[in-house]
């Protein structure tokens, strides 16, 4: 997989014309927002002055008409400008899809698709079943000869109830980038790598015996991660010193939580993010490599872990 530095060169040289095209549309939207905003303020001030200075017009009928006019214009601003799907779709097609193709030309990108909720549940990385679920920016492809990978942004929520009688509030179970690698090997046990300080109770409970903690003897690794597994011997093979190095490097790039599970023939990676990774902001320039870098670096680190594990299990 190409490095972040290679991506930066691609962004500045090859991708910049498309970025500038979408940036031009963004600036046009901002200009319309400003002009309509000035118009709304002018109508608001003028209408207030007219109603207050003319008693004949200062009736509920005129007030309601005035408020409906201002509200209608505000709705037009939101629908036609701030919620402009053409702008978002252009960004996805002209920028994000090309970034995915830069990872590997054979990769397929579908902006409206996402990793299915069953994948999250099967990863057992979360101790609540998602009851609300959405996502986007799905991509899939093949690494090497036979390792299928798929990833997307995901937001999963569950109800947090204080007691059986309360309706409960919607709480985020997971928000971020979810990555799945379908490897050739079938794992005999279930192994989890989760942030240090998190216990086995943060995982989805299974029908069998709970996974036990697996010591690694690596202080640098144990400061940031804890390993649990139903097969400690297999876990030590999977989370080899080389893999530990990649995992520590992954975590050092992020203040976000990162979790991994090895179940069946899948490696699941959950990278937590508070913000939407690839939703362009109207009032923020798109000519900013950091927007692309964070997303790409997550994928780069996740793929490095998968390739490292692939080597360790074959070696």
Same domain, 62 and 111: no
Is 198 in the same domain as 72? no
- Domain's final residue, options 47, 82, 117: 82
Q: Whole-number mean pLDDT of the chain?
A: 84
**Domain co-membership, 147 together with 111:** yes
114 and 60 in a single domain? The answer is no
Quick one: 184 and 50 in the same domain?
no
Same domain, residue pair 207 and 62: no
Least confident of 21-25, 79-83, 122-126: 79-83
Q: How many domains does the chain have?
A: 2
Q: Which long-range contacts (CB under 8 A, 24 or more apart) does 213-216 make?
A: 214/239, 216/244
Q: Are residues 70 and 194 in the same domain?
A: no
Same domain? 58 vs 148: no
Which structural domain, as residue segments, surrounds residue 275?
106-314
Residue 281's pLDDT is 80
In angstroms, the CA 42 to CA 101 distance is 48
| Per-residue pLDDT tens over the stretch 145-172 | 788 999 999 999 988 766 666 666 889 9
Q: Among 22, 50, 82, where does a domain finish? A: 82
Determine what percent of the chain is predicted with pLDDT higher than 90: 33
> Are 169 and 294 in a shared domain?
yes
The answer on 130 and 77 residing in a single domain is no
Lowest model confidence (mean pLDDT) among 23-32, 35-44, 66-75: 66-75
Q: Is this prediction's pTM over 0.75?
A: yes
What is the structure's pLDDT at 42?
Answer: 81
């Amino acid at each position: 997989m190409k490095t972040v530095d290679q991506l930066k060169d691609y962004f500045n040289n090859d991708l910049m014309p498309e970025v500038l095209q979408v940036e031009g549309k963004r600036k046009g939207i901002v200009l319309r927002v400003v002009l309509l905003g000035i118009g709304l303020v002018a109508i608001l001030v003028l209408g207030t002055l007219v109603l207050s200075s003319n008693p004949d017009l200062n009736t509920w009928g005129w007030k309601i008409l005035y408020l409906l006019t201002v509200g209608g214009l505000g709705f037009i601003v939101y629908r036609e400008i701030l919620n402009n799907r053409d702008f978002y779709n252009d960004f996805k097609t002209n920028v994000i899809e090309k970034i995915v193709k830069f990872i590997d030309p054979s990769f397929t990108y579908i902006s409206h698709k996402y990793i299915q909720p069953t994948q999250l549940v099967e990863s057992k990385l979360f101790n609540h079943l998602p009851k609300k679920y959405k996502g986007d920016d799905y991509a899939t492809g093949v690494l090497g000869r036979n390792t299928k990978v798929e990833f997307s942004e995901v937001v999963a929520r569950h109800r947090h109830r204080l007691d059986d009688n309360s309706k409960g509030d919607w709480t985020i179970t997971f928000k971020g980038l979810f990555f799945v690698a379908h490897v050739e090997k079938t794992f005999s046990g279930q192994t989890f790598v989760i942030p240090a300080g998190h216990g086995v109770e943060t995982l989805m409970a299974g029908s069998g015996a709970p996974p036990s903690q697996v010591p690694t003897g690596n202080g640098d690794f144990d400061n940031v991660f804890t390993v649990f597994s139903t097969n400690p011997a297999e876990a030590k093979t999977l989370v080899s010193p080389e893999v530990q190095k990649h995992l520590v490097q992954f975590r050092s790039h992020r203040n976000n939580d990162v979790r991994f599970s090895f179940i069946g023939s899948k490696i699941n990676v959950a990278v937590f993010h508070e913000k939407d990774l690839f939703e362009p902001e109207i009032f923020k320039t798109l000519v900013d490599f950091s927007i692309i870098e964070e997303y790409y670096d997550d994928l780069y680190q996740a793929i490095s872990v998968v390739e490292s594990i692939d080597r360790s299990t074959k070696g």
